[in-house]
Chain A
Amino acid sequence: MSMARALRMFGTIALVLAGVILLITPYAGNPFWTGLMAQILIFGLLALSVDLLMRHTGLFPMCNGAFFAVAAYTVAMLEVNYGVASPFAALAGIASAGVTGMVFGVSVRASGVYFILVTLALGQLVWGVSVQWTWLTGGDNGITNVPYPSLGDMRIGSLTQMYYFVAFVVIFFTLLYRQVIRSPFGLSLNGIRDSESRMTALGFNVTVRKYVAFVISSLFAGVAGVLYAYTVQFVSPAASSLLISVEAALMPILGGPGTVFGAFIGAVIIIGIRNVVSGFLSGWPIVMGLVFIIVVLFAPKGILGIFNDLLRRSDRRDQAADAARKDVREAEQ
Chain B
Amino acid sequence: MPEAILIARDIRTYYGDSYVVQGVDLDLEEGQTLALLGRNGMGKTTLIRSLMNLTVPRQGEVRLRGNLISGLPSNRIARQGIGLIPQGRRIFPTLSVQENLSLPGSVLAGGRDRAKRDWTLARVYDLFPKLRERAGQMAGSLSGGEQSMLAFGRALMSNPDVLLMDEPTEGLAPVIVARIGQAIEELKRAGMTILLVEQNARFAESVADKVCIMSNGQIVFRGTPELLEADPETRQKWLGI
In the complex, the chain B residue whose C-beta lies closest to that of A202 is: B104
Size of the A side of the interface (Cβ < 8 Å), in residues, is 19
Write the nearest CB–CB distance from B149 to chain A, whole angstroms: 16
5 more contacts with CB within 8 A, not counting A204-B78, A206-B75, are A188-B106, A190-B99, A191-B103, A200-B75, A205-B76
A202 touches B78 (CB 8 A): yes
- Is A125 in the interface zone, CB < 8 Å from B? no
- Is A201 in the interface zone, CB < 8 Å from B? yes
Pick from A187, A190, A195, A206 the residue with the most CB of B within 10 Å.
A187
Collect the chain A residues with CB atoms within 8 Å of residue B94's CB. Answer: 190, 193-194
Given contacts A202-B154, A203-B107, contact A187 B54 (CB under 8 A): no
A200 touches B90 (CB 8 A): no
Collect the chain B residues with CB atoms within 8 Å of residue A190's CB. Answer: 92, 94-95, 99
- Residues of chain A from 199 to 230 with CB closer than 8 A to chain B in the complex: 199-206
- Residues of chain B from 103 to 133 with CB closer than 8 A to chain A in the complex: 103-111
B84 touches A187 (CB 8 A): no
CA A161 – CA B99 in complex, angstroms?
42
How does the 8 Å CB contact mask read for B75-101 relative to A, with 1 for contact and 0 for none?
110110000101000101111000100
Give the tally of cross-chain contacts (CB within 8 A): 73
- Is B199 in the interface zone, CB < 8 Å from A? no
CA A201 – CA B104 in complex, angstroms?
10
Top 5 A-B residue pairs of the complex, sorted by shortest distance between their CB atoms? A184-B106, A203-B78, A194-B92, A203-B79, A201-B84
Pick from B74, B93, B108 the residue with the most CB of A within 10 Å.
B74
CA A203 – CA B107 in complex, angstroms?
7
Q: Which residues of A contact B (CB under 8 A)?
A: 184-185, 187-188, 190-191, 193-195, 197-206
B93 touches A200 (CB 8 A): no
CA A201 – CA B155 in complex, angstroms?
9
CA A201 – CA B103 in complex, angstroms?
12
Taking a contact as CB atoms closer than 8 A, the residue among A185, A193, A195, A203 that contacts B104 in the complex is: A203
- Is B52 in the interface zone, CB < 8 Å from A? yes
CA A187 – CA B99 in complex, angstroms?
7
Collect the chain A residues with CB atoms within 8 Å of residue B111's CB. Answer: 203
Write the nearest CB–CB distance from B171 to chain A, whole angstroms: 19
CA A206 – CA B103 in complex, angstroms?
13
Collect the chain B residues with CB atoms within 8 Å of residue A205's CB. Answer: 73, 75-76
Size of the B side of the interface (Cβ < 8 Å), in residues, is 28
B73 touches A187 (CB 8 A): no
Write the nearest CB–CB distance from B113 to chain A, whole angstroms: 8
Main secondary structure of the interface of B (DSSP, over half): helix
CA A184 – CA B73 in complex, angstroms?
22
CA A148 – CA B104 in complex, angstroms?
47
Collect the chain B residues with CB atoms within 8 Å of residue A185's CB. Answer: 106, 110
Given contacts A184-B106, A204-B75, contact A191 B95 (CB under 8 A): yes
- Is B102 in the interface zone, CB < 8 Å from A? yes
A198 touches B92 (CB 8 A): yes
Taking a contact as CB atoms closer than 8 A, the residue among A187, A193, A197, A200 that contacts B103 in the complex is: A187
- Is B50 in the interface zone, CB < 8 Å from A? no
Collect the chain A residues with CB atoms within 8 Å of residue B92's CB. Answer: 190-191, 194-195, 198
Collect the chain B residues with CB atoms within 8 Å of residue A194's CB. Answer: 92-95
A187 touches B110 (CB 8 A): no
- Is B148 in the interface zone, CB < 8 Å from A? no
Taking a contact as CB atoms closer than 8 A, the residue among A188, A193, A201 that contacts B74 in the complex is: A201
- Is B32 in the interface zone, CB < 8 Å from A? no
CA A200 – CA B107 in complex, angstroms?
11
Collect the chain A residues with CB atoms within 8 Å of residue B74's CB. Answer: 200-201
A202 touches B107 (CB 8 A): yes
Given contacts A184-B109, A200-B54, A206-B75, contact A195 B90 (CB under 8 A): yes
Instruction: Jot down 18 A-B pairs with beta carbons below 8 A, ordered by A.
Output: A185-B110, A187-B106, A188-B103, A188-B106, A190-B92, A190-B94, A191-B103, A194-B92, A195-B90, A200-B73, A201-B75, A201-B84, A202-B78, A203-B76, A203-B111, A205-B73, A205-B75, A205-B76
Collect the chain B residues with CB atoms within 8 Å of residue A203's CB. Answer: 75-76, 78-79, 104, 107-108, 111, 158
Collect the chain A residues with CB atoms within 8 Å of residue B93's CB. Answer: 194
In the complex, the chain A residue whose C-beta lies closest to that of B81 is: A203
